[in-house]
Structure 1
Amino acid sequence: MGSPHRQHVSSLVPSNPRILTAVLLAVAVVNSATLGYDSSVMNGLLILPSYTEYFHLTDATIGLNNAAVWIGEIIATPIMQIIPDRYGRKKAILIATGITIVGIILQASAQSIAMFVVGRMIIGAGACLSNVSAPPLLGELLPPRSRSFMLGLFFSCFYVGSLLSAVINYGSQNIQSTWSWRLPSLLQLLPSVVAAIFLPFIPESPRWLIVHGEEAHAQEVLAIMNGDEDLDKAAVAAQEIRLVIANEETAYPRNAWREILSGPANRRRLLLLVVFGAMINTLGNFIVSFYLSKILDQAGIQETYKQTQINIILSCWSFAIAILGSFMLDIMGRRLQTLVGLSGMIITLYMIGGLIKHYGESTDTSGIYGTLAVIFLFQGFYAFSITPMTSLYPTEICQYKLRTAGTAIFRLLDSGCGLMASFAMSFAMSDLG
């Protein structure tokens, strides 16, 4: 039965699997870019005197502004598993986009610290929901041969948003009004709007459809993903998925939050999610991601235009290395690649500390730019190993029933450590000298 008339899947969804994979890649790029833009926009704003002077920022309020997005993610964690599992991955991404847009408008129009912080918290909730929903959707649609690269690339595209933000901050630094920081805040809408535009062109997860009794719809999706729209072959694939899900239900009959605590295998998954989630923001990368301006000040690079230029170049470098890391996941393996990255970060972080201590207050240009080179090396090791693993690993180690719950736990630990680092590093960077 070839090329049947579509009864469930939108005609906007491409029939060619290569084109559909490209659209899924675009969805990965824009969803991850939203997260990257949010992280980099704060880095860029802290460089701008118009922002720091408008809010009369202190170490405490700088920490609060950076921490607000993590507070929003933590508050939203209880519903992170419910929305994508009950309403579907696509609707969850759309809901996340709407939440994020509301937060961006509040942040860009902020008249006080309180208004800015509330906007940041709402952005955090939307970003967290998007990050819990998009990777499972990609993992459940993509064929195994391209799944690890695409999921690795998902969070690697964090740097697309980071680069976009850095360029916009560089261009807006000479605006002689509060629009020098309001404009970069407002243009954070771009990735969110593009994400919503792409949604009609992708199908829903076939696994989610089968779980919710929409098998005919799931078969159409599987037929399209196979490239020939043969429903007979798709019915066989749907039956295999149905058997896997049925076996999971038999083995894990209780609520996902209870099941993830039951049995040695699930407890080991939980341990991996907790440890890896805690690692994401405690490896030293938080300094470069959120306090680049302060670390450049301490390294002896204090001009605003130089700092914004470095921010752009660092984003380009990190993005290129993250793509390389995504390609290498299936060649080196997850464990070895992570260990290589961790070893490199440990060595370069100690080197950064020593170089700043020795050259930070000197006029030795070679020493200052040598320090900058090691900062680039440190960020390269992080982008090569941890960045592509961030979206791949939580999705990969959890079976369907536990996938969104496991990802939510991972994000909770990530957000909790991010919240801690936001407050601690604001004071630490001022007091270290």
Structure 2
Amino acid sequence: MLRKTPTGTWLPAWVPESTIITAYLLLFCSVVQSTTGGYDGSMLNGLNILPVYTDYFKLNAATTGLNTGSVFIGGFFGPIFSGVIADRLGRRPAILWGCIVTIVGIILQTAAQDIAMFVVARIILGFGSQVSGIAAAVYLSETFPSRWRAWGVGLLNDFYYVGALIAAGITLGTGQWNSTWAWRAPSLFQAIFSILCIVILPFIPESPRWLVHEGYYEYARTAVAQTNANGNVSDPVVVTIYKEIIDTLEWEKKEGITMSPLEIVKTPAARKRLLIGMSPGPFSCVAGNIIASYYLGDELDTAGITSPNDQLKANVVLNVWCLACSLFGTHLAAKWGRKPTALLSEVLLVICLFVIGGLSKIYADNPAGASKSLVYGDVAVMFLFQGFYSIAWTPLLYLYPPEVMNYSIRANGVAFSSFMLNALACVLVFVMPIGLTNIGWKMYMINGGWDIIIVVLIAVYWVETKGKTLEEIDAIFEGEKHSSVPDVEHVRLGKATVDVAVIEQELQHETGLDIVNEREDKKFE
């Protein structure tokens, strides 16, 4: 049963009464968002292997990097605007407009007649996907209950590999075509994921944190009830969550904290949140996976796998493996914690990079005399590397930043994290094919050195956010929780109780609304 629900924006919503169904719809929104990026990376991976694509654009090492990396130019500019858009328009409208811009870029990319048109299209595509992706990360982190947040937001990037797998399969099939549709068809299919996201948006509620900040208190309470207690606004868990949000955002306003982008560096606590929260972007970018994400063909060449068809098949297998590892990593992040999961993944990456570099050097020194066991061993460790990368960085890339940042800097802070990722990726995606051509196996050693530094930074500076609501994480950075209610999970598990009647009175005083009398009228307006 769908109920028309106020959203505080021009974009209406008809939300299911069942919390479980609403959670699945939120998951679906998360899933289709992430497939666009995964599809793009795997599609370009496949296209860079296809002669019909490289010959059409007459690509060399530099123009291959430009064609591939131009999406990160758009990704570089997207975060500059995405935080402001999400704060001003609302989380759901920001996702919608981002998807529309992405579709426009995909259409232009499919119709590209030369390198210039292809590059411009990918810049537009990158811009749109960043706006929608950042808004989705903020929206899902603010809307999912804390007990499901690791999975709900982790899947936002996990299904990168589902998109990658679909693209790998499509390019494997169209790769046999002797026409430009061998690369145009995979490009056009990329739009389906943004379309699916647009279809699902009218059936999920607006972020309750955004609604409270904009003064739509009862709408926010309804959203909390829909995502936690089948619409029951008097449920103790709902009341506790709602009171936490009201108290915390009221504290931020009293402290003079604004929604300005400059707020991310205004205070020591904000700077600490920013540095820790934005670190997954650059950390994941320099970890070394860009080689296999966009230049698997070149990587396999260094290991002796040179057949285009064999490389396309390897691309399919790789994405199945990475999807499994990312789901396992999401499980670890939910049960074990964000920080331990990141440390485990990063240590394994260091080991793999040095092994890959060593084996690739042996092959490069004597390609003709290289044994099959050496070649297969090198490829196996490459696959292990991508899987180990996926354990932590795939789910944490969008899960960890919005958890660490408080409401006033969340959208702009997550945007800054993506900005840094895309700034580095824009450079590295362009440089990687040149580096692999000129120094080969040494690129792996360079990445291994970077990753050792990352291990130290995570161990020293990261904080653990598992099991806490976004408001409860404040105590880690400010030294105190800004609400008098018990922690939500304690209430949910029966370890603490709340007096709903007393909290109702406090809420009435804080919001200026007669909640008791108006609740039923506004429950599902």
Normalising by structure 2, what TM-score? Answer: 0.79
CA contact (8 A) 1:70 1:415 kept: yes
Q: 1:355 to 1:139 in 2, by over 3 A?
A: same
Q: Distance in 2 between matches of 1:54 and 1:348?
A: 36
For residue 410 of structure 1, what is the aligned residue in structure 2? Answer: 417
**1:217 Cα deviation (Å)?**
2.0
Partner of 1:385: 392
Matched, 1:192 2:190: no
Equivalent position of 2:138 in the other structure: 136
Residues 310-330 of structure 1: per-residue CA shift (max 9 Å, x gap): 000000000000000001113
SS in 2 for 1:13: strand
Show the counterpart of 1:44. 46
Q: Distance in 1 between matches of 2:375 and 2:256?
A: 57
Deviations 1:150-201 (A, max 9, x none): 2222211111111111011111011110000111111111111111111111
Task: Tell me the SS of whatever aligns to 1:47.
Answer: coil
Quick one: which amino acid aligns to residue 241 of structure 1?
I
Q: Is the 8 A contact 1:4 1:230 kept in 2?
A: no
Equivalences for residues 267-286 of structure 1 within 5 A: 267-286=271-290
- Which stretch shifts more, 331-340 or 123-132? 331-340
Distance 1:252 1:194, change over 3 A: same
Cα distance in 2 between the residues matched to 1:187 and 1:5: 33
Whether the 8 Å contact between 1:15 and 1:227 is mirrored in structure 2 is no
- 1:196–1:317 Cα change, 3 Å: same
Matched, 1:78 2:70: no
Distance 2:2 2:301 in 1: 63
The equivalent of 1:159 in structure 2 is 161
1: CA distance, partners of 2:388 / 2:241: 39
How far residue 108 of structure 1 moved from its aligned partner, in angstroms, is: 0.8
In the alignment, what sits opposite 2:402? 395
Is residue 222 of structure 1 aligned with residue 224 of structure 2? yes
- Equivalent positions of 1:336-351 (< 5 A) are 336-351=340-355
Q: Summarize the Cα distance change of 1:115–1:21 in structure 2 as closer, same or farther, 3 Å threshold.
A: same
Residues 1:319 and 2:326 are matched in the alignment: no
Alignment equivalent of 1:376, drawn from 362, 371, 383: 383
> Structure 1's 293 and 66: CA in aligned 2 closer, same or farther, altered over 3 A?
same
Partner of 2:20: 18
CA 1:359–1:220: 2 relative to 1, 3 Å: same
What's the CA shift for 1:261? 1.2
CA distance in 2, matches of 1:144, 1:320: 24
RMSD over equivalenced CA pairs, Å: 1.9
CA shift in 2, pair 1:195/1:374, >3 Å: same
The residue type equivalent to 1:76 in the other structure is G
Contact 2:265-2:274 within 8 A present in 1 as well? yes
Contact 2:298–2:433, Cα closer than 8 Å, also in 1: no
- Alpha-carbon offset, residue 265 of structure 1: 1.7
* Inter-CA distance 269–5: structure 2 relative to 1 (3 Å threshold): closer
SS at match of 1:213: coil
Q: Residues 25-174 of structure 1: matches in 2 within 5 Å? A: 25-174=27-176
**Partner amino acid for 2:319?**
S
For residue 486 of structure 2, what is the aligned residue in structure 1? none
2:6 counterpart of 1:8: yes
Deviates more, 1:91-100 or 1:263-272: 263-272
Q: What is the CA–CA distance in structure 2 between the aligned matches of 1:170 and 1:178, rounded to whole Å?
A: 14
Q: Please tell me whether the aligned partners of residues 87 and 259 of structure 2 are also in contact (alpha carbons under 8 angstroms).
A: no
Aligned to 2:491: none
Is 2:257 the counterpart of 1:253? yes
Q: Distance in 2 between matches of 1:291 and 1:80?
A: 29
Aligned partner of residue 193 in structure 2, secondary structure: helix
- Residues 11 and 417 (structure 1), Cα distance of their counterparts in 2 relative to 1, 3 Å cut: closer
The verdict on how the C-alpha distance between 1:92 and 1:4 changes in structure 2, with shifts beyond 3 A counting, is: closer
- Give me the whole-angstrom Cα distance separating, in 2, the residues matched to 1:175 and 1:190: 22
Shift of 1:6: 4.7
C-alpha displacement of 1:224:
1.6
Distance in 1 between the 2:230 and 2:181 partners?
A: 52
Cα-to-partner distance string for 1:219-238 (whole Å, 9 max, x where unaligned)? 22222223342334456653
| Corresponding letter in the other structure for 2:232 | D
Task: State the AA in 2 paired with 1:307.
Answer: Q
More helix by share: 1
- Contact preservation (8 Å) 1:29, 1:157: yes
The Cα offsets for residues 33-88 of structure 1, whole Å up to 9 and x where unpaired, read as 11111111111110110000000001111111122111112122321111111111
- Distance in 2 between the 1:254 and 1:214 partners? 18
Residue 11 of structure 1: how far off its partner (Å):
6.8
Report the secondary structure of 1:281's partner residue.
helix
Change (3 A) 1:340 1:191: same
- Looking at structure 2, the residues matched to 356 and 193 of structure 1 have their Cα atoms a distance apart, in angstroms, of 42
SS at match of 1:42: helix
Residues paired across the two proteins, number: 431
Structure 2: distance between partners of 1:77 and 1:11: 26
Q: CA–CA distance in 2 between the matches of 1:296 and 1:319? A: 20
Q: Distance in 1 between matches of 2:5 and 2:355?
A: 61
2:336 to 332, 356, 362: 332
2:495 matched residue in structure 1: none
Contact 1:12 1:201 in 2 (8 A): yes
| Greater relative contact order structure (CA < 8 Å, 6+ sep) | 1
Which amino acid letter does the alignment assign opposite residue 325 of structure 1? G
Q: Work out whether residues 300 and 311 of structure 2, in 8 Å CA contact, stay in contact via their aligned partners in 1.
A: yes
- The answer on whether the counterparts of 1:209 and 1:217 sit within 8 Å (CA) in structure 2 is yes
User: What are the residue-to-residue correspondences of 1:349-368 with 2, within 5 Å?
Assistant: 349-359=353-363, 361-362=367-368, 363-368=370-375
Query: What is the Cα deviation at residue 14 of structure 1?
Result: 1.4
TM-score normalised by structure 1 residue count: 0.95
Instruction: Choose 1 or 2 for highest CA Rg.
Output: 2
